[in-house]
């Protein structure tokens, strides 16, 4: 049977009471609060709190939106705790941003003043028995090519994070898709610096944490306009004077944006004049082709195809997989059935024990629940009630590896 509770409490089999078993089962299903970063064969496991993902993603995108085309990098200190066991467990539960003067351009490259500020911050959050949270590494957003550690990253780690159990987090932001993160850790006296062993989407929903809670809107002076896709790297330090003044970066950004806008207007005017006479007849050709293709597609798409497409959009894609000692039950949050769901139920059948978990629309949007490790076959049935009072259900069975 399943491992229902700690060994200090009686198991359901020993208790013999269905009411006691039902009460104990209330604690078996829970929504995850952190993302587990783990690589097979590596002695490090990292728990990244979803609240950190939400707030740190905003911090990274604020810098990314400050400079046209490439974006300014940001960095700081990761806060959490470290636990030694069969594997090193690093918990990341908070972070502290450390500003940069950007004397050397939009990259997070520290000057002497920056390093003094970084050193002072690290001193206040060093590990001690009185602190629940302390420094467990540092983070940096990465707007350069790839996702690899730089020489400056390794210098920061050697100077301020002498403990080899500390980690480094790099986050690469994008304008049109979720950011990508990757952890780095020390092994055999060095880092695998060319790339992270495991890159992951730096977005709470994509990591199984559900929708992000509503967060306070940033002040008007900190908001930035949406940017276009990134392009080539800017020349470090170009146009900057007296970078110790926080307003210098903002002036530099505005000057660069004005120059880019002027060049874009001139190029657009010239191209529009040359191509106007060409696009008028071509527009009619494209319109005619669109009508013909659309008509043919309507003839080919029969009723069976339409039913197949409808069935795929309503699929729940229910799965049950063992991860880090816990059974994770997932379903497709982007399914039309879930997006239009009013409520639902998750029915659990584990041997002679049954449990029904009621889910509202918000909980369905989380897309997953956690079930304690099972020693025997467990069946899960997810039933979703849509807004038009229809029901859609799927069933999945989990068998332990030994079976």
CA angle 34, 378, 33 (to 5 degrees): 10
Q: Please give the share of the chain, as a percent, with pLDDT higher than 90.
A: 31
Query: Which tens digits make up the pLDDT trace of 21-53?
Result: 555 454 555 567 899 999 999 999 999 999 999
Greater model confidence, 284 or 273: 284
CATH 3.40.140.10 positions along the chain are: 34-222
Q: Could you report the per-residue pLDDT of 51-92, keeping only the tens digit for each?
A: 999 999 999 998 888 776 678 899 999 999 999 888 899 999
Strand partners, 129: none
Per-residue model confidence (pLDDT) at position 78: 97
Angle, vertex CA 246, rays to CA 240 and CA 252, nearest 5: 35
Widest CA span in the chain? 86
pTM of the complete model: 0.51
Question: H helices then E strands: how many in the chain?
Answer: 9, 16
Question: Is the pLDDT assigned to residue 274 strictly greater than 70?
Answer: no
**Cα–Cα distance for residue pair 97/62, rounded to 1 Å:** 12
Q: What are the Cα distances from residue 399, in Å, to 1, 185, 256, 350, 374?
A: 12, 34, 59, 11, 8
**E strands of 84-166, at which residues?**
88-97, 134-141
Q: What is the mean pLDDT of residues 96-107?
A: 90
Phi, psi (deg, nearest 5) at residue 362: -65, -40
- Is 117:75 a contact under the CB 8 Å cutoff? no
Least confident of 40-49, 98-107, 133-142, 232-241: 232-241
CB-hemisphere CA count at 13 Å for 386?
14
Average pLDDT over residues 142-164: 91
Q: Residue 101: phi, psi to the nearest 5?
A: -80, -10
Q: Does domain 12-29+316-398 have CATH number 1.20.58.340?
A: no
Q: Is the pLDDT of residue 201 over 90?
A: yes
User: Which CATH code fits 34-222?
Assistant: 3.40.140.10
Query: If DSSP codes are grouped into helix, strand and coil, which group holds residue 310?
Result: helix
Domain with CATH 2.60.40.10 in the chain: 12-29+316-398
Q: What share of the chain is helix, strand, coil (3-state, %, to 5)?
A: 35, 25, 40
C-alpha 143: how far from its chain's center? 17
Pairing of strands 341-350, 378-386: antiparallel
Which two three-digit tokens encode residue 249? 């970066």
Listed in sequence order, the DSSP H helices in 125-245 are: 151-160
Lowest mean pLDDT: which of 8-22, 59-73, 258-272?
8-22
The SS3 assignment for 382 reads strand
State residue 13's pLDDT score: 44
Residue 267 confidence (pLDDT) above 90: no
pLDDT single digits (tens) 279-334: 556 666 667 776 666 656 555 554 544 455 455 556 888 898 887 777 788 888 78
Least confident range of 103-107, 131-135, 224-228, 330-334: 224-228
- The most confident of the ranges 61-75, 189-203, 258-272 is 189-203
Q: 3-class DSSP state for residue 75?
A: strand
Q: Which residue has tokens 């000692």?
A: 325
């Amino acid at each position: 049977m399943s491992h229902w509770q700690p060994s200090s409490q009686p198991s359901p089999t020993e208790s013999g009471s269905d009411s006691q078993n039902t009460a104990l089962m209330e604690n078996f299903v829970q929504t995850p609060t952190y993302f587990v970063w783990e690589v097979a064969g590596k002695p490090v496991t990292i728990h990244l709190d979803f609240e950190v993902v939400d707030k740190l993603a905003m911090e990274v995108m604020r810098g990314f939106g400050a400079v046209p085309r490439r974006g300014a990098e940001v960095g700081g200190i990761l806060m959490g705790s470290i636990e030694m066991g069969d594997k090193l467990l690093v918990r990341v539960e908070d972070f502290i941003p450390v500003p940069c003067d950007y004397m050397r351009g939009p990259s997070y490259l520290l000057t002497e003043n920056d390093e003094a500020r970084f050193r002072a911050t690290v001193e206040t959050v060093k590990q001690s028995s009185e602190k629940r949270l302390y420094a467990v590494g540092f983070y940096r957003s990465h707007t350069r090519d790839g996702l690899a550690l730089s020489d400056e990253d390794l210098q920061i780690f050697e100077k301020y994070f002498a403990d080899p159990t500390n980690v480094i987090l790099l986050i690469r932001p994008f304008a049109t898709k979720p950011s990508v993160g990757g952890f780095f850790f020390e092994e055999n006296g060095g880092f695998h610096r060319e790339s992270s062993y495991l890159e992951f989407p730096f977005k709470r929903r994509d990591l199984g944490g559900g929708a992000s809670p509503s967060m306070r809107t940033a002040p008007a002076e900190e908001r930035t306009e949406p940017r276009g896709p990134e392009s080539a790297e800017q020349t470090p330090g170009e146009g900057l004077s007296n970078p110790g003044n926080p307003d210098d970066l903002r002036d530099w950004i505005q000057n660069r944006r004005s120059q880019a806008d002027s060049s874009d207007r001139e190029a657009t005017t010239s191209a529009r004049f040359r191509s106007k006479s060409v696009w008028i007849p071509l527009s009619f050709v494209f319109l005619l082709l669109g009508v013909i293709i659309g008509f043919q597609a309507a003839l080919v798409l029969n009723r069976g195809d339409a039913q197949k497409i409808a069935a795929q959009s309503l699929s729940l894609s229910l799965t049950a997989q063992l991860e880090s000692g816990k059974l994770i039950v997932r379903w497709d949050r982007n399914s039309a059935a879930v997006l239009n769901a009013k409520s639902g139920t998750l029915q659990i059948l584990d041997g002679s024990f049954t449990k029904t978990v009621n889910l509202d629309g918000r909980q369905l949007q989380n897309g997953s629940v956690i079930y304690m490790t099972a020693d025997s076959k467990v069946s899960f049935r997810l039933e979703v009630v849509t807004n038009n009072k229809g029901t859609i259900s799927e069933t999945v069975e989990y068998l332990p590896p030994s079976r």
